[in-house]
Amino acid sequence: MEIVKTELKGCYIIKPKIFSDERGYFYESFNQSDFNRAIG
């Protein structure tokens, strides 16, 4: 996931990672450890 800071204090935009192959698409909507590393 990609975490984007906004101008509002404490407000972030969380974008999912999208994975694709010949079978279709899969996305990871949230990952707690990535969130903790980015936000603190």
pLDDT in tens, 1-40: 888 999 999 899 989 889 999 999 988 888 899 889 888 7
d(CA 13, CA 40): 15
**With contact defined as beta carbons under 8 Å apart, do 2 and 15 qualify?**
yes
What DSSP character marks residue 1?
-
The residues spanned by each domain of the chain are 2-39
In the block, tokens 């079978």 appear at 23
The predicted pLDDT at position 17 comes to 86
**With contact defined as beta carbons under 8 Å apart, do 38 and 5 qualify?**
no
